[in-house]
Structure 1
């Protein structure tokens, strides 16, 4: 029987929605349910989660719910354990940098939610510290593993588009104010003092999506807004929302591709999915969402004629064709966890490291600078 390779993983921030649902339940516990992560030479990696957080009652409840025994409120003690090899951070951004520094100093490999840090200098320093310490680093870049974007990547790799001209993205939904209906997102997201704002939340995502699929971002021009200025928090108290809840950006990519992405928590959805990207090329176009992807090739492109005097008697959306799955798509967070575990144990390639995460923070800062100064910001070629 092939050997099972156990690996201790400190998961900090497990009482939060993302840390609990996506990283513990749908990733690490799901990996255990399937028997571990298969290694190329035989055997399996078996994750052993050690839950860390500030609330002992919540930690104990989560552990009991899932038959786990290892939890603590003492991060230092958890990092000192010899059986711990990986530190994972799903805390709020303001607490992340200090904890990651502790993990690097303890010699642990580090995998973390984004943004990597609150500023690009801090993120770049973390990347340098990780490299100097010889530890393996990774940043969650879950959108790349969504079925819709994997289909889009397949189209790009297969030359479907010809020369890609432009990308248009729409992301967002209406986040309730918290008075007559509970908000779907935590209140800190809407306070600058707590590290909130949609630019810092979403631009790191857009950076790796654009970078991996189309080309590195070389310039950005952004307009931001705080559309909803009063909200109600988890305790039922009204507060002033001073963080940006919408951002309208133009990204200039290497190779001349222009990407426009609207991000908003103050928009009502009139599209098939909460995020959609339309890619137009000389030979064809595609619209990709979280799961689906539709295409229109140049040979089947209709010939629209502008005539505002006559009603449209057909559906433009019906003129597109669905891209088939052609494979089974697993949870994107879980797929990247499996890749990071193989990276740590077997040395397999993992390009989504701290340097990649630092570039995402740098783009968010450039977007905010552009909004403050009302001009295009160049990012150069670094």
Structure 2
């Protein structure tokens, strides 16, 4: 068995997602397991260099996780022919320029979502990658969640019959920062810094809806900035200029001329009384299911109870107990790590890969349609994306 080294430039990994999910739980975990298994029995071993502006942070992060290489000069890193992949988890506003720089340097690119703050920039990056002939990918982590993988198994097994509707409830209360410390960075709530829940979450909903239920055809969206004042990392109040909640309805292509209706609420201003921080409720003619991050519960047509509406009598049906768990039939690895392994195989052995930059651009397209719908207070069609 041979081991192939894969030089990897990792940019923007001092942030929460970049450090925890991509560096520690993905690349470090892959290195600890001896690399990524390849089809011929060999392995691919990522050899990362951490790049960022703060040398002290870079050095400390690299030492903490046994990584030999770090630096602050991106141009120098991109000029190294021994590193063939560039990854970015920095700010969305900087991402298109960074990706373009890496592509022009001949690197394969992989990045967090959104791949840009607007569709024009997203499309330009996609075209640049296609013209350069490099391999490319965008993070679509929720497709790898155990709960959604179980939901997808039900769909592929025909459990739902004809899918009628989907309801997604996402969010939790993000502390304003005055009474309790905030648990999300302040830039999330400043539009001028690339914040906003529509930009952040609608990209996710695009690939979830497209891949699991039906291609998005149109959207009606209402955004809101419910909390007008928040407190930043230094304890100073600031004006929240970005949307912190979005209430959207999507029409999906259900096949054979049918339509699936998806209702999606995304909010950082809601207190949780549901199974998980995000729940996906699917109703079909033959069965229904509700999935969270890890769990999934189903109710088939023949096991559906018969509730009777009577507002004069206290409800005594145990609705939550009338669903059956979809069991864990396999070990579920970290979703970010799984997609990293897919991308590494794609780069090293040309394995099939479908979570590309154009798929990321579709998410940005839906963001723009949702924002247009909110601004113009109307339904907006989502045409096929031509690159």
TM-score, normalized by length of structure 2?
0.98
Residue 369 of structure 1 aligns with which residue?
372
- Distance in 1 of aligned mates of 2:53 and 2:181: 24
Q: Tell whether 2:332 aligns with 1:329.
A: yes
Deviation per residue, 1:310-339 (Å, 9 max, x gap): 111231010000001111100000000000
1:182 aligned counterpart, secondary structure: coil
1:26-54 deviation line (CA, Å, top 9, x unaligned): 00000011110000101101001100111
In the TM superposition, residue 180 of structure 1 has moved relative to its aligned partner by: 1.8
| 2:221 alignment partner in structure 1 | 222
Q: Give the structure 1 partner of residue 309 of structure 2.
A: 306
**What is the CA deviation profile of residues 338-379 of structure 1, one whole-angstrom value per residue up to 9, with x for unaligned ones?**
000001111111111011000000000100110000000001
1:381 shift after superposition: 3.2
Deviation for aligned residue 1:213 = 0.2
CA distance in 2, matches of 1:199, 1:9: 31
Residue 30 of structure 1 pairs with residue 33 of structure 2: no
Deviation at 1:380, TM superposition (A): 2.2
Q: Which residue is equivalent to 1:10?
A: 9
TM value normalised by structure 1: 0.99
Deviation at 1:94, TM superposition (A): 0.8
1:189-268 pair list within 5 angstroms: 189-255=188-254, 256-268=259-271
Give the number of equivalent residue pairs: 381
Structure 2 CA distance for aligned equivalents of residues 175 and 70 of structure 1: 36
Match of 1:378 among 378, 381, 384: 381
Greater displacement, 241-250 / 64-73? 64-73
Name which of 270, 273, 277 aligns with 1:270: 273
- Distance in 1, matches of 2:215 and 2:173, equals 30
1:72-221 alignment runs, 5 A limit: 72-221=71-220
Partners of 1:143 and 1:279 lie apart in 2 by 16
Q: Where does structure 1 differ by over 6 angstroms across 4 or more consecutive aligned residues?
A: none
2:360 to 334, 357, 362: 357
Alignment partners' CA distance in 2, 1:339 and 1:138: 10
Offset, 1:114: 0.3
User: Could you list the per-position Cα deviations for residues 34-90 of structure 1 after superposition, in whole angstroms to 9, with x for gaps in the alignment?
Assistant: 110000101101001100111111001101111222111111111111110110000
In the alignment, the residues of structure 2 paired with residue 247 and residue 299 of structure 1 have an alpha-carbon distance, to the nearest angstrom, of: 36
CA shift at 1:235, angstroms? 1.2
Q: Is the 8 A contact 2:307 2:317 kept in 1?
A: no
CA distance in 2: counterparts of 1:250 and 1:102, whole angstroms: 37
Distance in 2 separating the partners of 1:215 and 1:351:
16
Q: Determine the C-alpha separation between the residues in 2 that align with 1:168 and 1:57.
A: 45
Q: Gaps spanning 5+ residues in structure 1: where?
A: none
What is the aligned-residue RMSD (CA, Å)? Answer: 0.7
SS of match in other structure, 1:254: strand
2:322 to 300, 319, 324: 319
State the SS of the aligned residue for 2:66: coil
Query: CA–CA distance in 2 between the matches of 1:290 and 1:65?
Result: 29
